[in-house]
Every structure is written in structure tokens, then in C-alpha cells.
Amino acid sequence: MDFTRRDIISIRDFSKEEIEYILESAARMEARLGSKLNLLEGKILACLFFEPSTRTRLSFEAAMKRLGGRVIGFSKAGVASIAKGENLTDTIKTVTNYADVIVIRHPREGAARLAAEVSEVPVINAGDGSNQHPTQTLLDLYTIKKEKGRLDVKAAIVGDLKYGRTVHSLAHALAMFGASLILVSPSGLEMPPEVLADLLELGVEVKESHNLEEAVSEAEVLYVTRIQKERFPDPEEYEKVKGAYKVTREMLASARKDLIVMHPLPRIDEISPEVDLTEHARYFQQVRNGLPVRMALLTLVLGVE
Amino acid sequence: MERDIRVRKIKDGTVIDHITAGQALNVLKIIGITREFPKTTVTVAINVPSRKAGLKDIVKVEGKELRSEEVDKIALIAPKATINIIRNYQVVEKKKVSIPPKLEGVLKCANPNCITHFEPVKTRFHVERKEPIKLRCHYCERVMSEAEIVRQF
């Protein structure tokens, strides 16, 4: 399978086989993490972060540097030429002359696809508005595969399912692999009907619920996301919902012994810190898995392995 | 009982037949027939009994031939419509509308935060289903429903 010069824009662009290939490649990369790797020596990654991000940007920079490559870029649109009124298309046409690969995060949906169309070098989407964040999805899948040995798991996805970009692409990817899904959200923040329709078209078993405790007792994978305060017009309503969707140690008493709890981080208070010490917590391993997955993707799109 | 619908033939213009019942007024919007339209005869028939479709709508416009962009738009809401070009009372051309697999530059994305509203780029949509229509924006991946499409006309 050849990924050379391919863009990584949306999880929808990939077949099951291609996703499996990326995950295997990430596993091989993880095994080599201790040794000195100069696979991308002489190559330059441009990190264009038009929206603030710490972890994703650091993860990509670390991935490139661990492979012996170098990184250029910016991390705030305010300091870039955008502040002078330059459009995205022109920025990409410029940067494509300087770098071998581009990683972009942008507040508008579709920005990464457009960047890929005008760029001469491969583009990796690190988040385009509320649309896609494919490398997050790949590292989530990698974590599930590593922990469970398979992807056709029973997964409960919890939180803001309406606006959360990670949950849409994760649900789509898990559905491709035959997982069964429990979608747990406060009312008003349910999975949008068109995303739900997509999942059903993939032939997956989907259950929608407002009951976190019930989902915790059934699931093999509990994927928790943040519920943002600004989504609620009434602050009191937010406080009520926040309490009902918080994963606690007591709640996990009814869980299967092999349940794993995941979270894309940063978490605010949707998983209580005492859960960190339980055998279920996997979110810090999950964030660590971002490194081999992103390293694998960089080598794949640059045609080096 | 007289069952035929008697409408005077047009000399030059277009007859759009087999329009999905209830969509005639949207077709008028697409082809720009408004109160300000130059004085011409426009005939609209709604819910006409049809052997094939049960009910259908028909629009006849004197003195106008459709642009391809207008035909593409009509296809979205009335995928079984036929376009008959009339010259000197004769049908000189008859064609069925068809929905292309991709639509370029015809519609705006309904997502206000889609990059296509901010950059010099033609919109592009993939047709995921023809009836009822379901389009997906090539850029932001948001699905656009028939109601959102019709709102643009």
C-alpha cells in the first residue's frame, strides 16, 4: 500500500484496509521508538496553526523531530500574514515552496481540504473547525486496537455529540469496523441526524441514551468528551448536566472489569481525578499513542518507512 | 367529463413537464420568474393527474430558453422533469434533466463556517442520494438537505 504524497484530510477518505495499514505501521513505529531514527533527516514540516493548540502541535513537532526532521511554522493566526489580510490559498501556495509536508489546523470547516488542493506537498489535517481531526481518530483507533486487540468493540461515546468533531469521525470509523455504539449525551446535544443516518447506513448497531451509568455497565470502551459550557443558554442547565455526565470511581464499580476509559484531552471535570488510579483509565496512554501514529503518518506520506 | 387540461400552446419558449408534484413554485424561483419578470405568458399547473407519477406539476414559459445552470438546479428538486424547447409551436428539443455526480459552483454551502464562504473557490458538492436529494459539501463535509437547497432559490 502506498501513501506517498497522499493527504490526510478526513477519516472518510480511507478504506478499512488503509486504516489497518496505518495502525500496523504505527505499531512498527512504536517498537522503534527507543532507537535513533533519522528517517526524515533533511525534511521540513510546516506546522500552520491558525487556531491555538498545544498538544496536537507539540505532538506533531515531537513526531517530526524524533524522525530527524525539522519544523517551521506558526501557532497563531494573529502573527501570520492572515492578520494582514492574506487568504488561506495564497498562504498555502507560499508555504508549499518551503516544506516537504504541511500540518494545518484552521477554525473553518473545509480549510484542510482546500489547502490540500492548492498545495504541492502532502497536507495533514490537524482539525478543521468542527469537521474532522483524522489523526486524533487514528490514535483513538490505535489505542482501542492495542488495548482490546480488535476494533469491533462495544463502545459508549459520551458528551457533546452534536458539536464534537472527534466523536463524529470516531463513530464513523468504529462503525466501519463493525463496532456497536452507545451514544450518550445530554438532550439537545445528541448526534446530528445526518451523522446518525451515516452510521446506520454502515449497518452498525446504535443505541442512543441519556443514561451514563447504564452505558458504563455495558461498554468495553468508554470514550468521554467534554461538554462545553457555552453550548448552554442557561448556566443552571449546564451545572445540572455536568454533574450527570461525570465519570466517577463509584460509577465504575458496576463496569466490566475490562472496560477502558478514554478521553481526547484536555479534560475539565468530566472524569474525576480518582479514576486516573483505576485499572480502567487509558487516556494518558492514549495521548502517548499520538506520537507513533503521527510519526507513522509523516513517514508514510513522505514515502519513507 | 372533460379530463384534459386545456392550456394554449406557446409559440417560442420552454415547457417543463413531469415536475415533482408541489415543486412548480420552486421551479419558477430557479428560472427567475418573479413579479418583475418581463411581461410574458407563464402557465403553471400544479397537481396534474399523471399516469406515471400519480400527480405532477407543469410550467410553461413563453420566450425563455433555460441555461444549463438552471436545468441542473431543477434536477435537484424535480429529478424526473423533462425540458421541451418550443420554437414556432413545435417541440425542437426534448431532454430529461439529470443530476450530475458532482455539482460545481451551482449552490452555496449551507454551513456558514464552511471555508468556501471565505476563500476564492468554487463550491463543490457530491451527490450522495438523488431522491430525495442529499448533497455533501466537498470541503466541509456537511450534508445539505432538500429544504436547505430550496431555501437558496
Domains of chain B: 13-96 (3.30.70.140), 102-150 (2.30.30.20)
Distance CA A4, CA B28 (A): 49
Between chains, do B143 and A194 touch, taking CB under 8 Å as contact?
A: yes
Q: Is B131 helix (H, G, I), strand (E, B) or coil?
A: coil
Between chains, do B140 and A194 touch, taking CB under 8 Å as contact?
A: no
ipTM: 0.92
Q: How many CB pairs under 8 A join A and B?
A: 57
Most confident region among A182-186, B37-41, B127-131 by mean pLDDT:
A182-186
Asked if pLDDT for residue A250 goes beyond 60, the answer is yes
Asked if pLDDT for residue B81 goes beyond 70, the answer is yes
Using CB atoms, pick whichever of A10, A108, A194 lies closest to residue B114: A108
Q: Which domains are delineated in chain A?
A: 11-131+290-301 (3.40.50.1370), 135-287 (3.40.50.1370)
Lowest-pLDDT choice from A202-211, A222-231, A257-266: A222-231
Q: Is B3 helix (H, G, I), strand (E, B) or coil?
A: coil
Per CB-CB distance under 8 Å, the chain B contacts of A108 are: 113-115, 118, 140
Confidence band (pLDDT; 50, 70, 90) for B6?
low
Helical (H) or strand (E) element with B73 = helix B68-77
User: How confident is the model over B80-105, as a mean pLDDT?
Assistant: 93
Per CB-CB distance under 8 Å, the chain B contacts of A113 are: 115, 138-139
pLDDT at position A90 is 94
Lowest-pLDDT choice from A41-50, A273-282, B59-68: B59-68
pLDDT at position A36 is 84
Asked if pLDDT for residue B1 goes beyond 60, the answer is no
In Å, how far is A156's CA from the nearest CA of chain B?
24
In Å, how far is A172's CA from the nearest CA of chain B?
13
Asked if pLDDT for residue B4 goes beyond 70, the answer is no
